[in-house]
Amino acid sequence: MRTIGHYFDGGVAPFEEERTGDIFNPSKGEVQARVNLAAADELDAAVARAKAAQPAWAALNPQRRARVFFRFKELIEANMQPLAELLASEHGKVVSDAKGDIQRGLDVVEFVCGIPHLLKGEYTEGAGPGIDVYSMRQPLGVVAGITPFNFPAMIPLWMLAPAIACGNAFILKPSERDPSVPVRLAELMKEAGLPDNVLQVIHGDKVVVDAILDNPDIKAVSFVGSSDIAQYVYNRGSAAGKRMQCMGGAKNHGIVMPDADLDQAVADILGAAYGSAGERCMALPVVIPVGEQTAVALREKLVPAIEALRIGVSTDEDAHYGPVVSAQHKARIEGYIQMGVDEGAELVVDGRGFSLQGHEEGYFLGPTLFDHVTPEMKSYQDEIFGPVLQIVRSASLDDAIALATRHQYGNGVAIFTRNGNAAREFVQRVEVGMVGVNVPIPVPVSYHSFGGWKRSGFGDMNQYGMDGVRFYTRVKTVTQRWPTGDTIVDQSFVIPTMS
């Protein structure tokens, strides 16, 4: 059986039997590999290695650091197919989705190739008599990232690329459910020219997470996961004096106006709700038709489109989505479907009981659709994180905006309309961090930044873009003046002064 060890000192460490976890093949429902789970002292050893390696990397000028990322980008592109197949085999998403996972991370790698420009500070000449003021951005030192199972390439790249480009050493704790791609990315970084131990991959569970949060030499932590865990990580890390960036769960809404192009809206909603089996924080699990006529017409188009979806193994090129990640997660989703029934929602399409011939033990779920869902239902309030779409009917745009705004999560939202005034009003008023106008999954491009509001995001700075550069650096501001001959101009320069 395949085994996966930690990555440090420029290679994968030998597999140890003391603490291990199983990695399943979601399509078959069987164990396919085992991964080491680190103890707290192993994490501390990784931090010590990172602390020793970081100063020389930070001393390298930004242009030379950028060259490593140019080579890294080329290596990822050259290895796209095997990386996608490896990712799909552990996560369960189809290979085309896996390629999208990698590509969105690659976009951030491409962004940080411009790190010499991104790190430039500000300069003021003549701020006072003979006085100039300038600022610079410097790395924090050793930083860490804790990433979820649902995007095992994209989210690690969102974190490690800006962190390392800014001159930090980075310790990645990926999900123990699908850890192989993060290790492979570390190997490609080594091949691209990154010095040993500037990037390390340490596998683990809560033991390692707590060790990361408690280690005083780790100056910042980026996290993506469920909201309850994000809040725990944020509170514990902040209490330890760390800079924290913690992204949580979501319950994104798609508002469908009466003037929307329903055929296009249905196609968009279908992909956003069921793609990757709904296991993404920017999925669209709630659709809000405005007006009864819109609701009836939308449902009439949605049902046959949903019933035409193809579920298959990750290598099935014709499949729209594959299995969910684990048996436990499948059972959790089925529990929420039953909860919706018990709460009185209308179960229009039931995805339970789906079985794929030849893969009866796989973690497959058919697409599910509920109608007449109300805001009081717990199945609406919670993040289900599976192939389940809920219709919540609304009488007006005001009501639809209020639904999205009042929800505990504020990650993403979308509106489908031809009306520019309605779209503009929606964008201005809705209290959600990322907004799409006729775009069902409004994940910002790499030179903007990703982040939700309310219980979808804890901390003041978002992922990647300039916020990523700001998160992994600190500003040093210099006020200077120089002597003229043997004297310094304006001897009375003091702060505060009325001179």
Q: CB-based contacts of 207: which residues, under 8 Å, 6+ apart?
A: 37, 38, 39, 40
Mean pLDDT of 313-332: 95
For residue 460, the 8-state DSSP code is S
| Amino acid, res. 163 | A
Q: What are phi and psi of 295, to 5 degrees?
A: -60, -45
Question: Looking at the domain that runs over 253-437, which CATH code has it been given?
Answer: 3.40.309.10
Q: Identify whether 246 is a catalytic site residue.
A: no
Count of residues making up the chain: 499
Partner residues linked to 64 by β-bridges: none
**Burial label, 478 (beta-carbon count in 10 A; 0-12, 13-18, 19+):** exposed
* Mean pLDDT of the 302-314 span: 96
CA dist., res. 394 & res. 376, Å (int):
14
**What was the pLDDT predicted at 1?**
87
pLDDT at 499: 53
CB within 8 Å of 67: residues ≥ 6 apart: 193
The pLDDT, as a whole number, for residue 92 is 94
Q: Say what the pLDDT of residue 487 is.
A: 61
pLDDT digit string, tens, across residues 42-87:
999 999 999 999 999 999 999 999 999 999 999 999 999 999 999 9
What are the extents of the domains in the chain?
A: 2-248+456-478, 253-437
Residue 486 pLDDT exceeds 90: no
pLDDT in the model for residue 484: 79
The yes-or-no verdict on residue 490 having pLDDT over 60 is no
Largest CA distance in the chain: 89
Convert the pLDDT of each residue in 228-267 to its tens digit.
999 999 999 999 999 999 999 999 999 999 999 999 999 9
> What's CA 75's distance to the chain center, in Å?
22
Phi, psi of 402 (to 5 degrees): -65, -40
376 closest CA partner among 335, 328, 424, 343: 343
Which pLDDT tens digit goes with each residue over 99-149?
Answer: 999 999 999 999 999 999 999 999 999 998 889 999 999 999 999 999 999
Backbone angles phi, psi at 333, to 5 degrees: -65, -45
Q: What is the pTM of this model?
A: 0.94
CA 334/CA 313 separation, integer angstroms: 20
**DSSP helix/strand/coil, 453:** strand
Per residue in 193-238, pLDDT (tens digit) is 999 999 999 999 999 999 999 999 999 999 999 999 999 999 999 9
- Is 1.10.630.10 the CATH number for 2-248+456-478? no
Banded model confidence at residue 494, pLDDT cuts 50, 70, 90: low
**Choice among 113, 166, 246, 281 that is catalytic:** 281
100: amino acid identity, one letter: G
pLDDT digits (tens, 9 = 90+) for 142-193: 999 999 999 999 999 999 999 999 999 999 999 999 999 999 999 999 999 9
Pairing outcome for strands 2-4 and 30-36: parallel
Nearest to 253 by CA among 85, 125, 434: 434
Surface-to-core class of residue 399, CB atoms within 10 Å of its CB (0-12 exposed, 13-18 middle, 19+ buried): middle
Q: Can you give the pLDDT at residue 197?
A: 98
- pLDDT for 120 equals 94
Comparing C-alpha atoms, which of 354, 453, 353 is closest to residue 412?
A: 453
Asked whether 440 and 268 are in contact (CB, 8 A), the reply is yes
Helix (H) / strand (E) element for 87: namely helix 80-91
